[in-house]
Every structure is written in C-alpha cells, then in structure tokens.
Chains A and B, each alone.
Chain A
C-alpha cells in the first residue's frame, strides 16, 4: 500500500459514481441522474483538491520540478472542471445526448489522466515521498476539515 494504491482506489470509487450518473441519464431518469452526478462531482472535488493542495506541493517541494508533470495535471483538472459545468448544464436541460456526449468526453479525458497519474506520477511519489499511508490519510482528513 502506498500513495499509488490509495489514490488509484479513489479513482475507482469516482468511476463508480460516474457510471451511476451516466446509467441514469441514459434511461432519462433525471432525478436519479442529478443525485448521482452531484455525488460524483463532490467526490471529484475532494480528489482533485487533495492532489492540488497536498500531494502536488509535496512532490514539487521534494523534486524541485514545478513546471513539469504537476503543471500538466493541474491543467487537465481545469479541463475536467469545465466539463463538469457542461454536464451540469445538459442535466439542467434534460438533454440525454448532450449529457452522454459530454460525459464520454470527460470519461476519456479523466481516464487517460488517471493512467498518467497511476503509472507515472504516483509511482514517482511512492519512491520519493513519505511511504507511510496512514500519515497521508491523516493529512487528507486535515485538508478535508479545513
């Protein structure tokens, strides 16, 4: 268990919420879709926030690399947030094809982003940063409270 396993598990949990919202939207169950979408965005906000404010700064401090992979990851986070807005707007209009199209775009963006994190960035973090997962979980909880 390390940062990689911990954060990869969080990716899987977000994926599950994503597909719940998508499944509901594809059957035009808008009430359920809105609920699941809200849960998904909350989980994503937490995940992206932990990375941007806890993990990435730790990585940047340890390696001295500020304009490298973490900058790219932050940019992709912005792209994801823009797609959350588009998905929310499509939900508001109850337009299934638009919601599913925006959702599919997000899915691919998010998954290729996750691959890069899980196979490269988190691996380096596991080599270079504190290996104790309990410490990290505590830091994440502190961040969550703040």
Chain B
C-alpha cells in the first residue's frame, strides 16, 4: 500500500531552478515587445503583439514558474516523487520554453506555421505534465484539500490548453475562423481555474505555516475550490445556452470567490504571530490587494455603466495578483533549496568521516539579502501602479510603466541568478573535497 511512499526531501536543484530562473526572462521579453511597439499596443487586447505579450507572461512567466513549483512541492506536500526528475523536467521545460517563444513569434511575425509549431509543443508539454502529475496526485496518501484542488487546477489547465489550441488553429488555416467568444472561456479557465485555484491550494498550506497564522476556516478550505470549479463549468455551459442574466450572476459569484479568498488571506496575515516584516508576506498582501482592486473596479464600472480600459483587468489579474504571488514565493523557494542541497553535501562529507572538510552553509538571508528582495518588491509595486494607470492614460504612463516593469523583472532575474551562482561556487568547493 505504501510502496510509493517517499518523504525524500527534494528533486535535484536544477529541476525547479530552471523553471524559476526562466520566468523573469519571459517577463523581460514581454517588456521588450511592449517597448518595441509603443503605447498603441494597449488599445485592444486583440492586437496580435498584445496577445504575444499576454502569452509571454501567462505561459513564459506563470505556467513556467507554477509547473516548476509543483515539481518541487508535490514530493513535500503529497509524498509523491516523480521518477527520473531531471529527465522529466527537461521534457517539460524545453518544449514549454520553445512553445511560448514560437507562439509569441507567431503573433509578432504573423507566420502561420509558427502557430502550428506552438500548438504541438505546448500541447505536448501540458498533456504530459498533467498526465504524470495527476497520476502521482491520485496515488498520494495525502487527504488534504490541496490535493483535490491541485487535481482540479490540472483539469483546468488541460481545458485551457485545449481551448487555446482550438483558438490557435483559427490562425493556421484559411477557412477556420477564430472563435473569439471562446477566448473568454479560455482565459476564465486559465486565470481562475488554473492560476487562481493553484495559488489558493498552495496558500492554504504556506500562509499558516510560514507566516505562523491561524488556518483558513474549514468551510473556506472545503468549499471555495469546488464552488469556483462548478461556477466555471456553469459559465462554460452558458456558451451553448447564452443567457445574459445567468452569465452576469455567475460573474458576480466568481468575483465573490476572489473577494472571499483575498479578504480572508489579508485577515489571517493581519493576525499573524510573526511580527517580523517579511518580504514574501508583502508580496502576498500586494497580490490580495490587486484582487480586491480588480473586483471593486469591475463592480463599480458595471453598476455605473462605465466601460473599463480593455487591459486594466488583465494587468490586475496577471501582473498584480498572479505574478506578485509567484514572485514572493520565489524568495522562499530558491534560498531554501540552496541551503537544503548544500546541507546534503555536508552530510555526505560527515558520513565519509571527513567532518573537518565541511563548508559552513550560509543561512537564507546570505543567499538572497533581505534588502535585495525588498527593493525588488518596491519597484514591482510601483510598476504595477503605473501599468494600471497606463491602461487608462497610455500617452502619459506607458513608457515609465513598462520601463519600471522591465526593471522589476531584471532585478528579480538578477537576484535569482546571484543565488544560483552562489550555489554553484559553494558546490564546486564542496565537490573539490569530496
């Protein structure tokens, strides 16, 4: 029964690291495309270069870091190790990088065949990942709600990818019209069913544990994920039976899910037992504030009958909520893993009876200094405010916003690469004596 049970600590460092370090590279690429095209790009979300930017962020930054984090977290949270982790992560990482690049290039260069390449690469990546991860999750002995929610999130990822491939097919052929109505379903499943669901599932575990707060209420944990999933299913059915009233109602209920999660998280953090100002916690707070802003702005616009700038919602959801939460998590994951792997090397030395040759393993604040993370947070925060303003007044805010966003992504990349280089140097020192 427990033949597969392993509480092994972690896959090799390169497995999650390659995904997490790739993410801000795609953030920088998105900024470059924005700068190249100038303020006109944000007039519509249907602009091909804007679609390229959106997917550089959702695939290149978000899917990239979230798949990497799942590979790292599943052994810890579920006790399930993925066999041959280095090989598996290459099989996922390489086509994800190439697929994201070819999809963006397809829109930027308007080459039809590149859409086909992207469809094949990304379809392969997500199908293989979902299959392997779902099989592992189904066999886990863990009965925590996180397991169920990760499975729901994977299902949503598969639906998002399927809809995305169907939509991309519209660009490949002459006769195949792009079905724009389906785009809303594609992005609802992607941003709510996959991204938001997974962030919730992870938050249920990491917020109480790392910030030392109370648990999320039982009803919240048990029902919110399922409610979200059922609402998305209902929303999908309205595509076949379009009832405007029902669609509006579902929209309100989905917004309520976002709001409940955001407010509950802020409340827990407000009452946390750690009084230490922690950078990752600031990222969590900003992510939740973005969700709340998103719900309120859309709510007010709906009641007052105002049409919102096309990209404001996207900025708040993708950059404001999702990228912020992931960015904060990176500052815990990367330094801890480096510490963990260096400690394991030292243990090898101790076991070999060569205690005196051990290297002092630096603590996490020596790997990424607290101030480096804090300043990157401040720049990211400022970039978000300016990006939101730029969707309303592009002539004024576009260039400062994009430049600051590029700076925040560059700074994140610098912090992560510094940590990886530090690990490389220490590991070489340890290998030399082994």
Q: Which of A15, A18, A102, A120 contacts B5 (CB 8 A)?
A: A120
Shortest CB-to-CB span from B365 to chain A, Å, is 3
Q: Are the C-beta atoms of B336 and A105 separated by less than 8 Å? A: yes
Q: Which residue of A lies closest to B140 (CB)?
A: A120
Q: Which residue of A lies closest to B272 (CB)?
A: A19
Contacts across chains A and B counted by CB atoms under 8 Å: 95
- Is A38 interfacial (CB-CB < 8 Å)? no
Could you say which of B7, B9, B274 has the most chain A C-beta atoms within 10 Å of its C-beta?
B7
Shortest CB-to-CB span from A26 to chain B, Å, is 5
Residues A46-97 near B (CB distance < 8 A): 63, 65, 68-69, 72-73, 75-76, 79, 82, 86, 97
Q: Are the C-beta atoms of B7 and A116 separated by less than 8 Å? A: yes
How far is it, in angstroms, between the C-alpha of A63 and the C-alpha of B205 when the chains are bound?
28
How far is it, in angstroms, between the C-alpha of A119 and the C-alpha of B204 when the chains are bound?
13
Q: Which residue of B lies closest to A73 (CB)?
A: B7
Supposing A16-B273, A124-B2 touch, asked if A101 and B365 sit within 8 A by C-beta, the answer is yes
How far is it, in angstroms, between the C-alpha of A31 and the C-alpha of B366 when the chains are bound?
25
Q: Which of A65, A75, A79, A109 contacts B2 (CB 8 A)?
A: A65
- Is A35 interfacial (CB-CB < 8 Å)? no
Provide the residues of chain B in CB contact with A15, threshold 8 Å: 212, 273
Supposing A16-B212, A108-B332 touch, asked if A23 and B274 sit within 8 A by C-beta, the answer is yes
- Is A107 interfacial (CB-CB < 8 Å)? yes
Residues B353-386 near A (CB distance < 8 A): 362-366, 370
Residues B112-145 near A (CB distance < 8 A): 141-144
Q: Are the C-beta atoms of A104 and B364 separated by less than 8 Å? A: yes
Q: Which of B171-179, B339-347, B392-400 contacts A (4 or more CB under 8 A)?
A: B339-347
Q: Which residue of B lies closest to A75 (CB)?
A: B347
Provide the residues of chain A in CB contact with B276, threshold 8 Å: 22-23, 26, 100
- Is B275 interfacial (CB-CB < 8 Å)? yes
Q: Which of A75, A76, A102 contacts B363 (CB 8 A)?
A: A102
Q: Which of B5, B273, B362 contacts A19 (CB 8 A)?
A: B273
Q: Are the C-beta atoms of A69 and B6 separated by less than 8 Å? A: yes
- Is A41 interfacial (CB-CB < 8 Å)? no
Could you say which of A26, A76, A104, A111 has the most chain B C-beta atoms within 10 Å of its C-beta?
A104
Contact with B along A101-127 (1 / 0, CB 8 A): 110110111011011100111011000
Q: Are the C-beta atoms of A109 and B340 separated by less than 8 Å? A: yes
How far is it, in angstroms, between the C-alpha of A63 and the C-alpha of B141 when the chains are bound?
15
Q: Which residue of A lies closest to B142 (CB)?
A: A119
Contact with A along B11-43 (1 / 0, CB 8 A): 000000000000000000000000000000000
Mostly, the A contact residues are helix
Contact with A along B210-225 (1 / 0, CB 8 A): 1010000000000000
Provide the residues of chain A in CB contact with B8, threshold 8 Å: 72
Interface size on A, residues (CB 8 A): 38
Q: Are the C-beta atoms of B343 and A112 separated by less than 8 Å? A: no
How far is it, in angstroms, between the C-alpha of A19 and the C-alpha of B8 when the chains are bound?
27
Shortest CB-to-CB span from B329 to chain A, Å, is 11
How far is it, in angstroms, between the C-alpha of A69 and the C-alpha of B210 when the chains are bound?
23
Q: Are the C-beta atoms of B332 and A123 separated by less than 8 Å? A: no
Provide the residues of chain B in CB contact with A112, threshold 8 Å: 76
Q: Are the C-beta atoms of A72 and B9 separated by less than 8 Å? A: yes
How far is it, in angstroms, between the C-alpha of A104 and the C-alpha of B335 when the chains are bound?
10
Shortest CB-to-CB span from B203 to chain A, Å, is 14
Provide the residues of chain A in CB contact with B273, threshold 8 Å: 15-16, 19, 23
Q: Which residue of A lies closest to B210 (CB)?
A: A111
Q: Which residue of B lies closest to A117 (CB)?
A: B7
Provide the residues of chain B in CB contact with A65, threshold 8 Å: 2
How far is it, in angstroms, between the C-alpha of A19 and the C-alpha of B284 when the chains are bound?
19
Q: Which residue of B lies closest to A86 (CB)?
A: B363
- Is B68 interfacial (CB-CB < 8 Å)? no
- Is B79 interfacial (CB-CB < 8 Å)? yes
**9 examples of A-B residue contacts, CB within 8 angstroms:** A15-B212, A23-B273, A69-B7, A107-B210, A109-B340, A115-B76, A119-B142, A120-B5, A120-B79
Using a CB–CB cutoff of 8 Å, the interface residues on chain B facing chain A are 2, 5-9, 76-79, 141-144, 205, 209-210, 212, 273-276, 332, 335-336, 339-340, 343, 347, 362-366, 370
Smallest CB-CB A-B distances: 3 pairs: A101-B365, A101-B363, A111-B209
| Sample of 14 further A-B pairs with CB below 8 A, known A22-B276, A104-B365 | A19-B273, A19-B274, A26-B275, A69-B6, A72-B8, A82-B343, A102-B363, A105-B335, A109-B336, A109-B340, A111-B210, A119-B143, A119-B144, A120-B7
